[in-house]
Amino acid sequence: MYKKIFIFTLIILLFSGCKKDINEDVNTVIEENKNIIVGINYPTTGYKKIDNLINKDIEIIYNNFKDEYESFSNLTTKSELNIDYTYNKLDNNIITITINIYINSSKLDTSINYIKTYNYDINKNKILTLNDIVDNDNIKKIPKIINTYLIKNYGEFININELNNIEYNYELFSIDNDYLYIYYNPSEITDNYDDIIEILIPLNKINLSFENNQKEKIKQNVPVNNVIDINKKVVALTFDDGPSKYTDELINVLKENDAVGTFFITGNKVEIYSDTLNKAIKNGNELGNHSYNHKWLTKVNNDELHNQITKTQDIIYETLNYTPTNFRPTYGSINNNMRNNINLNIVLWNVDTMDWKYKSVDKIVSRATKNTKDLDIILMHDTRKRTVDAVKKIIPVLKEQGFTFVTVRELQEIKKLRSNG
């Protein structure tokens, strides 16, 4: 896919002012006289808008170089201009080109190295800026990703304390099927590093606004290994407001009893309890979205509503490589605005154990088991010890009544399968 052509091997040939097309795709300029050596390779895409832009830039660089160095004579070394490029055309008709410019100055006895990038949408006939392919919400995530990347990969050159003050521009970027690349030329970010800084952002960390096959490829950390007889009675245990210090034991209880549950979690606890949540996923339990910090969502504006949902989706994906499909409204409170603006299934319940209210384990068990029917969803909270103790009793009682335990997602699937059958 990548074409990277270096001209250095050809420079031994001596041409003067010779401009020659190697083929339709690559333009080459090779030139040598007593003061300078020029070796330029640049692409022609066949699309005027981007070709004109590249031609213009190359011409400027070439002319500036000649103006500055052609008449300057240094008896021992010649000044050099080298340009090469990478060219990538994505499946979705985006052309992405990086041009590398290298100048070795015999005047100053230094070299300069920088890049230019060009991204072009063939379908729209448009030169793309980063704002054209990454929406505002995702643009906001980029500085944090860059900072983390810089600390990890360029930490010895960059003063970490200063990173938070940098206002990043995204003028230089390119894309392939896996990454968004953001570049900074030397001294744009730090003077301590004299080469181009390249930051790789996996495409699954940011949603691109254009259609990208990558979206479908996002890995789901969802083991689907529960074998369920869809003709048997099923019930879904759900646990809100966690994870908490009781969640780990609850996961063990479910596993010992060959049961699964669905945890509607708040985003602010995901990182702290990532081990617990990974174990929950591994055991076949489901994670659902229950807002970021348990705000009362019918009482917030749409920006905050959006923020509460997406921040939670993002942190669950980034931390656990998992994407919830179900959402449970805080306080069970829901209105039409939420129905219209939340892009997840909204899941309430049929059986309320009132475990937040009743201190008696037996009372909770009784509420969970007395009138429970096929396809019911039971509401509990994994934030108290008594709920864990109640679950230890609830599972055998419901099994005795002929129930199989499923996640909410499985319950939704079973409903579909039964109605099709």
Catalytic residues: 240, 381
Q: Is 226 helix (H, G, I), strand (E, B) or coil?
A: coil
Cβ of residue 333: shortest distance to Zn ion, in angstroms? 10
- Residue showing the smallest CB distance to Zn ion in the complex: 240
- Exactly one of 31, 32, 240, 314 binds Zn ion (CB under 5 A); that residue is 240
Number of CB atoms found within 10 A of residue 224's CB: 11
- Exactly one of 84, 241, 382, 389 binds Zn ion (CB under 5 A); that residue is 241
Question: b/e string for 250-274 if b means 16 or more Cβ within 10 A?
Answer: bbebbbeeebbbbbbbbbebbeebe
Stretch that binds Zn ion, among 100-108, 163-171, 215-223, 241-249 (CB under 5 A): 241-249
Cβ of residue 205: shortest distance to Zn ion, in angstroms? 28
Beta-carbon contacts of 279 under 8 Å, excluding residues fewer than 6 positions away, are 248, 251
- Exposed, middle or buried by CB within 10 Å (0-12, 13-18, 19+), for 44? middle
- Contacts to Zn ion from residues 310-339, by CB under 5 A: 330
**Which is nearer to Zn ion, 78 or 384 (by Cβ)?**
384
**Which is nearer to Zn ion, 263 or 317 (by Cβ)?**
263
**Which is nearer to Zn ion, 330 or 372 (by Cβ)?**
330
Stretch that binds Zn ion, among 233-241, 275-283, 391-399, 401-409 (CB under 5 A): 233-241
Total site size for Zn ion, rule CB under 5 A: 3
**Which is nearer to Zn ion, 241 or 389 (by Cβ)?**
241
32 forms part of the interface with Zn ion (CB under 5 A): no
Backbone dihedral region for residue 388 (phi beyond 0: left; psi -120 to 50: alpha; all else: beta): alpha
**Which is nearer to Zn ion, 381 or 409 (by Cβ)?**
381
Spatial separation of the C-alpha atoms in residues 80 and 32, rounded to whole Å: 9
355 forms part of the interface with Zn ion (CB under 5 A): no
* Alpha-helix runs per DSSP H in 70-213: 130-133, 136-154, 160-163
Binding-site ranges for Zn ion (CB under 5 A): 240-241, 330
